A and B are shown apart, each in its own frame.
Chain A
Amino acid sequence: MSLKSGFKGVFDPKISEDRPPAPVEKTPEPKEFQEREESGTWRDTGYSATDEEAHRDVKYSIKSPLHQTFAVFMVQMKLFSKMKWTYILLFTALLIPIIAFAAPDFIEIMSNFGYGGDYSTTRIAGLLFFLPLMLGLMTSIMCGTQMPSEFKERTAYMNIPMPMSRASFFFGKYLAGFVMCLGIFMFAYSMAVATALKDYDTIFPDLVTSSLLLTVVGVLAYSATAYCIGCFTKKGSSIFPFALMSFIIPLIVVIVCSQTDDYTLTLLPMFLGEAALGILGGTMSGSAGMVVLGSMDLTATWLMIVIGIAWTVGFLLLGYFQTQRREM
């Protein structure tokens, strides 16, 4: 049994020192396995061991909740690595330079919409034109069906009885979904900035940083919402969270804002994508929130970030309580 030292508190593994060693059982082995053992590793495992040692009665100690959360995270990442959708979404960002270089007229069309001026950030905003829409779509696809599929495919019945808290299970899966979505959008930003390098050398680093930060918080909020909605549904849905975050709520807000002439509601996380483009100088976006883009108050991005994080925490807690209470 190997012990690893770690930080105190939640990192502490439970050490079972009080169990007396049980007698070693030597089970009779077929002849073929005896021959293999002589080659050096125990039955081709790659590790050296005697037959006696392999069959010893050993007890294991569970690791800390954080380790287990990480194990769930890695398993979910493995699941993502085996899904075709993951690669399709990841490489959607490659369309940015492909279209920009293979279709130069595209840059001309962008310029007619105010995206081709003298500054790199407006070009970058143009290349990320569909960012708000993609925020909703990709987070819904990656995170909307994570939890429901566990129950639909009955893999939850393998996971939940394990010596692991439901919190580790819940947050480990969410973390993987968030990281995957983050990877997609970071890739998109790197492609947009690299494409803009063709015509520009310099950027406004503070603006691009703010835009990135708004997008990261947007990913947090959108993925938490899709994940939480999934926890309440039996079959899960990628369409409903996408429709809710990208169309239904933004359209309601647009109608309310136009009637009241008060744009406070644009601080909601549904407009983080538009804010990320607006902060770069973008004047239009491929989304329902485009209508209010020009009227948003982007001097209060810190407030949008705080609201976005609070929204994320709220929805995660809601989803966690639902998962905790769920009876199987």
Chain B
Amino acid sequence: MTRTMTIMAVILMAAVALVPIVADDSDAKDSARFCDSYILSTTYKWIDGTVVRDDCLYYKTSNTEAIDAFEKCIKDREGTLPEDDSRTLKAGDIVRIYYATKDISVNVPISVKTPEGYEDRSQIISSMEMPYPPGLFVKAGDTFSIRIDKAVDNYGKDVMCYVVDNGTVYDLSETYTKTMKTTSEFTFETDSPSGGCNGRFYVDIQYDSSGFSEPSGSAALFAGICAAVTIAIFCILAYAGLKPKWSK
């Protein structure tokens, strides 16, 4: 039993230690598009000369959804306010409006105590920042550098990209180099877009970087290895818990 278990443990440990480490250090000129704002989508009904607001959605779960929504907005011309198209709209037509904003407020249902009892109301939690700044992965000990050659928003305006390091602001139009002591997703910030309906939806950047890594190992394999060790230990536990056969 001891020998078998030792061999099993050695094989498992070897598998863990010898899983090929394929670190794809990207070192090239690259381009990317990232979504810089929340896209809010509101549906309005044009009924008897009145705009009745229906549902309100906002896209914030992924950059792709937000950008797709904006593309749709541009293609289907659903970005126009009802007042401007009142000549072409018929009663009952539904119009979806998209507009962009960096900060959104979220309605949270709460229960408020009144003299009459409890009442359902809603509370506004404001200013939730865009949670997904673009990230490039740097491992601890790696030195990376980045220079953003061009950053243009969907309106064709230049965007300023910068990073704040220990209180100092670095303009990323110049090469920025750093050696990381911890692993992290490197992110940068952009100057604030104009707010309201004409807010910036996305920014196209062209950048030159080195020292970043891309994952390429199989997550399933790792989960399997950890699960195998766990199962082995569970088996030892189960085996140890067995009553002797002769005593049954």
Partner of A212, one of B132, B226, B234, B245: B226
Q: A80-B237, A183-B233, A298-B181 are in contact. Are A117 and B223 (CB under 8 A)?
A: no
Q: Which residues of A contact B221 (CB under 8 A)?
A: 205
A33 within 8 A of B: no
Interface residues on chain B, size class: 35 or more
In angstroms, Cα B184 to Cα A205, docked, is 15
Q: A120-B215, A179-B236, A204-B217 are in contact. Are A66 and B2 (CB under 8 A)?
A: yes
B17 within 8 A of A: yes
In angstroms, Cα B221 to Cα A292, docked, is 32
Does A208 lie within 8 Å of B240, measured CB to CB?
Answer: no
Per-position binary interface string of chain A over residues 107-132, scored 1 when its CB falls under 8 Å from any chain B CB and 0 otherwise: 01001101011111110000000000
Does A200 lie within 8 Å of B219, measured CB to CB?
Answer: yes
Partner of A298, one of B22, B135, B140: B140
Does A187 lie within 8 Å of B181, measured CB to CB?
Answer: no
B238 within 8 A of A: yes
Partner of A186, one of B17, B137, B181, B226: B226
Does A280 lie within 8 Å of B183, measured CB to CB?
Answer: yes
Q: Which residues of B contact A118 (CB under 8 A)?
A: 134-135, 137, 185
Tell me the smallest distance from the CB of A96 to a CB of chain B, in Å.
12
Q: Which residues of B contact A47 (CB under 8 A)?
A: 246
Q: Which of B181-234 contact A (CB under 8 A)?
A: 181-185, 213, 215-224, 226-227, 229-230, 233-234
Tell me the smallest distance from the CB of B9 to a CB of chain A, in Å.
10
Does B220 lie within 8 Å of A81, measured CB to CB?
Answer: no
B33 within 8 A of A: no
Does B139 lie within 8 Å of A207, measured CB to CB?
Answer: yes
Does B181 lie within 8 Å of A201, measured CB to CB?
Answer: no
Q: Which residues of A contact B240 (CB under 8 A)?
A: 74-75, 77-78, 80-81
Tell me the smallest distance from the CB of B88 to a CB of chain A, in Å.
39
Q: Which residues of A contact B19 (CB under 8 A)?
A: 205, 209
Q: Which of B136-180 contact A (CB under 8 A)?
A: 137, 139-141
Q: A78-B241, A298-B181 are in contact. Are A206 and B23 (CB under 8 A)?
A: yes
In angstroms, Cα B19 to Cα A82, docked, is 36
What residues of chain A have their CB less than 8 Å away from a CB belonging to chain B? Answer: 44-47, 66-67, 70, 74-75, 77-78, 80-82, 86, 90, 108, 111-112, 114, 116-122, 179-180, 182-183, 186-187, 189-190, 193-194, 196-197, 200-209, 212, 278-281, 283, 293-299, 301
Q: 26 A–B contact pairs at CB < 8 A?
A: A46-B245, A81-B240, A86-B237, A111-B131, A117-B135, A121-B215, A122-B185, A179-B233, A179-B236, A182-B233, A183-B230, A183-B233, A183-B237, A187-B226, A187-B230, A190-B227, A200-B215, A204-B139, A204-B217, A205-B22, A205-B221, A207-B183, A209-B17, A281-B185, A298-B181, A298-B182
What residues of chain B have their CB less than 8 Å away from a CB belonging to chain A? Answer: 1-2, 16-17, 19-23, 128, 131-132, 134-135, 137, 139-141, 181-185, 213, 215-224, 226-227, 229-230, 233-234, 236-238, 240-241, 245-246
> 7 smallest A-B Cβ distances: which pairs?
A205-B217, A81-B241, A183-B233, A190-B226, A77-B240, A298-B140, A299-B141
